[in-house]
Every structure is written in structure tokens, then in C-alpha cells.
A and B are shown apart, each in its own frame.
Chain A
Amino acid sequence: MRISISSNRNRLIGITIIIIFWQVLYVLIKKDIYMPSPLNVIRSFVHITTDKDFFAVISSTTFRVLLSFAISTFIGLLIGLVCGLNKIAYEIFEPVIVLIRSTPVISIIIIALIWFRSDYAPVFTGFLMCFPVIWSNVVHGIKSTDQQLVEMSKIYMVKPIKIIRTVYIPSAKPFIAAGLTTSLGLAWKVIAAAEVLSLPKYGIGSKLHDSKIYLESDKLIAWTLIIIIISYLFELVLMRFLSKQNRSNDNGLEGL
């Protein structure tokens, strides 16, 4: 409890330092367009969050993030599991992953804009960015499984599906959890960026684009803060869920 109070106090000190530094910069620059004051940003924040379209904007982006995250998780877990267990599948898939990873995000966004409607182009971009992260974590987790336990299971003729459920997946859980947390954070960043270019009717990225066009730096920072807060809240929920899963696992429950 004492540690929690003291770490919360330290966080508060950190945030206060950032705000003071920000205010000092504002006073030095004296141009709202380059550096809006913290007070103006707070005003814009309140204005944005009380706007009638706010819920539609937030829910549209959140839907895109969750959809791309869900698709990446499902396909990443499935293909990652196969590639972790089978060397040939790994060798076939590895170049595909390297190719996706090496492609600049902007190229993927533009390709997605050609292929999909503006509503779904960010979802496709988010998938291509998150899938390799989940895939590589799952592969790494499966490959790091204690082979002595696998050998023991084979001697006792345990069915392969049971070995996967009881030995491989619990072994890979910490890696999978890290992959999911990283890719959820990544999904928010990538989807907001993709929305800036695809300009769907509702989307935080579209709002960022409008702020840029009208040189409303205070709104730009307010929307950025909104992305940071929502992304952080989602990561927090995911981490709580994963740690609950880990506790269940420690109590002897099998599988994910």
C-alpha cells in the first residue's frame, strides 16, 4: 500500500514537471500555433469531449482498433502456433513476416486506401502492423517450451492436442501476453495515423487532420491526449485480464 501511494505520488510529480515545462515553453515561444498553452488545451479538451459527435468519433476509432486487434490476435495465435510447432511452416511464413515488417507504414496505408473503403483501410493497416508482433511472440513462446516436458508427454503417449493445451500454450503465455499488450498500443497509433490519410466520416485521425488543416494546435494536442488516455485505459484493462488469467493458471487451470 505504501509503495503504491509513493509511486502514485512520483507519477503526479512527473506529470506536474511536464505541465510546468510545457507552460514555460509556451511563455517563451508566445505563439499558440506552435505551442498552445496548457489552459487552452484543457479548454479544447472539454469542448471536444462535450461535443455531440464525440461519442461517434471515439466509438468509430475504438471499433476499428478492436476489430484489427481481434483479427491480428486470432490469426497471429493460430499461425504462430503452427509455425512454432512446425519448422517447415515457420520457414514458409518467416519471409512473409519480414516483408510486412520491412514495409513502411505509409506504404501500407496507401495500399490499403486503394484496396478498401476509407472506413476499413485503417483496420487493414492495423492488422498488418499488429499481426507480425503477435506472430513472433507466439512463435518465440512456443519455441521456448521446455522440450523435456514435451519428450515426457510423448513417452506417455499424451495426445498432441493435449500437449499443446497443457504444455505449449501455458509455457508461451508470458510471451503471448507481452505480444498482445504491445500490439494493442501499436493498433491505436497506427489506426489514428491511417485515419489521418483515409479520412473516414468519424475517426480521431480525421479530427487530427482537421486540426492540422485549420492550424488548431490546441485541438490537435487535445485529440492526441484523448488517444493516449483511451489507449492507456485499454492497455490497463488488457493487462488486468491477462494477469487474472495468469493467476488462474497458477491455481492450476489449463490453457488460455
Chain B
Amino acid sequence: MIKLKKIHKRFEDKVIFEDFSLDIEEHKITCILGPSGIGKTTLLKLISGLSKVDYGIITGLSDKRCSFIFQEPRLIPWLNAYDNINYILESVYTNQKSRDSIIRHHLMMVGLSDDMNSYPDNLSGGMKQRLSIARAFAYPSDILLMDEPFNSLDMNLKLSVMESFKNLWKESNKTVIFITHDIDEAILLSNTLHIFDENPARIVFSKTIAPDIMTRNVNDDSLMRIKTEILQNI
């Protein structure tokens, strides 16, 4: 279990977190839902170690690696799809053969086997984000942090990228912390959902979503009821 205990974080005059606590279950997808500027991205930066808490502690992270799927794919333009993944794996796997099979497998899982020699500029928006997802899952991390990764995609593309994500997650069983402000994405992809609101940030609503993520459909009655419940609490 990853535990944030009474953490404080401020940027200059703005208090982001004050006495904030949160438990995150391992090997599950925890979704943080809330409006922009509430501190969702800061939370991911604190967990990934990119930013430090002013006070309080975060436990359950020792010796754990993180991977990240950003809102924008953050691919290196002068490396092809294969090398973009190879770049982050070189320091983890010294054996070229094992690296090669991991990269090929993950590219295949996101449907980019035929594009492994393509450069990011030659990939569509959806392909770029799928490559960024493949990179995050290829990395041997325990925790996957996702900061509104489907935000810039249109609906059809979003569903296909989400499908790639679900397949890889089922295979890897990583602990996922997923940030979004889209209720449908949250309902489709999370085991536990927390709604953030107010300044400093606090959790105003939490919900465990039972149905299997792999078979969820946004039009299911049970999910519709959850959606209504969420809307009442936002």
C-alpha cells in the first residue's frame, strides 16, 4: 500500500496540500478526478520523486520504480519508435537480446510492430500516445503514473488507445495512479476513484468500482448509476 500521511505542499503563496492523506492500493488502478489546478499533477510529481513534500511522509515507495504516461507523449523526435523505448531500457537491461524482445513485445501489444522504425513526426497522435504507453509498460516499474494521457485524443482514438492500455495493464499488473477530469475515462479505467476539490486539495468523494475493467462498457446500467453518483458529488 502506498500511503500519503498528512502531507503539506505549497508553491510560493499557494497551498496545494495541507494535512492531506491518501491510501493507494497496490496492483489496482486508482483514479484521481477533479478540476484543473487542484493539485492532481503535483500529487503525481510527489509520488514520482520529481517534487518533494514540505512536511508529512509518503510510505510504500522504497525501492520502487515509476513510469509515467504524460498528457503529451514526450517522445524523442530524432529516435525511432524502437529506440525511444530502447533509450529508457538501456540502463535497466544490459542484455541487448532481452531488451529487444521486451521492446518488440510491447510494440506488438500496442499495434506498432510495423512502425518500429518510424520517427515520432511520422506517427499520428494516437500512435504517439500508444508508443508512450508501450514505453511506460516496457519499463520494469512497480508504479505507473498517468497524467491525463487521453486528453488530447478524439473519441475513437481515445477508445483504441484505452484498449491498448487495458491489455498491457492486465499483463503487467502494475499499480496505476491515473489523473483525469473526464468522468467516463475514470469509470472505464479505475478500480478506486477519488474526487479532489477545494483549495488546498481534499478528497470529497471516494468510490470503489467493482466490475472487471476489461469488460466494462460506459453504457452499462451499473456504471451509469456510478456516473450519476459522481456527478452529484462534483
Contacts and interface: CB of A to CB of B under 8 A. Distances in A.
Interface of A: 148-149, 151-159, 162, 166-167, 170, 249-250, 252, 254
A177 B149 CA distance: 36
Given A149-B74, A151-B50, A158-B87, A166 B67 contact: no
B50 A155 contact: yes
A148 B88 CA distance: 15
Interface stretch (B76-84, B153-161, B179-187): B76-84
Given A166-B79, A170-B78, A252-B83, A155 B67 contact: yes
Contacts of B70: 148, 152
A157 B65 contact: yes
A70 B18 CA distance: 56
B78 A152 contact: no
Contact of A252 (B65, B67, B79, B90): B79
Contacts of A149: 74, 76
A166 B119 CA distance: 15
A154 B50 contact: yes
Interface size class on chain B is: 20 to 34
A159 B119 CA distance: 23
Nearest to B132: A152
Interface string B57-73: 00000000111101010
Given A151-B50, A252-B79, A252-B80, A166 B87 contact: yes
A166 B72 contact: no
Most buried by B among A149, A151, A155, A162: A155
B91 A162 contact: yes
Nearest to B121: A250
B74 A152 contact: yes
Nearest to B87: A166
Contacts of A162: 87, 90-91
A157 B50 CA distance: 11
Contacts of B76: 149, 166-167
Interface of B is mostly: loop
B42 interface: no
B137 to A, nearest CB: 12
Interface centre among A156, A158, A159 (most CB of B within 10 A): A156
B48 A155 contact: yes
A157 B91 CA distance: 8
9 contacts: A149-B74, A149-B76, A152-B74, A155-B66, A156-B67, A158-B87, A158-B91, A166-B76, A166-B87
Given A166-B79, A170-B78, A252-B79, A153 B119 contact: no
A155 B66 CA distance: 7
Given A149-B76, A254-B79, 5 more contacts: A156-B139, A157-B91, A159-B91, A162-B87, A252-B79
Contacts of A166: 76, 79, 87
B88 A153 contact: yes
Given A148-B70, A154-B50, A155-B48, A252 B78 contact: yes
A236 B229 CA distance: 70
Interface string B15-27: 0000000000000
Contacts of B139: 156
A249 B77 CA distance: 10
Contacts of B87: 153, 158, 162, 166
Nearest to A173: B78
A72 B154 CA distance: 51
A252 B48 contact: no
Interface in B5-39: none
Contact of B78 (A153, A156, A250): A250
A157 B48 CA distance: 11
B232 to A, nearest CB: 36
Contacts of A157: 65, 91-92
B227 to A, nearest CB: 32
Contacts of B74: 148-149, 151-152
Nearest to A166: B87
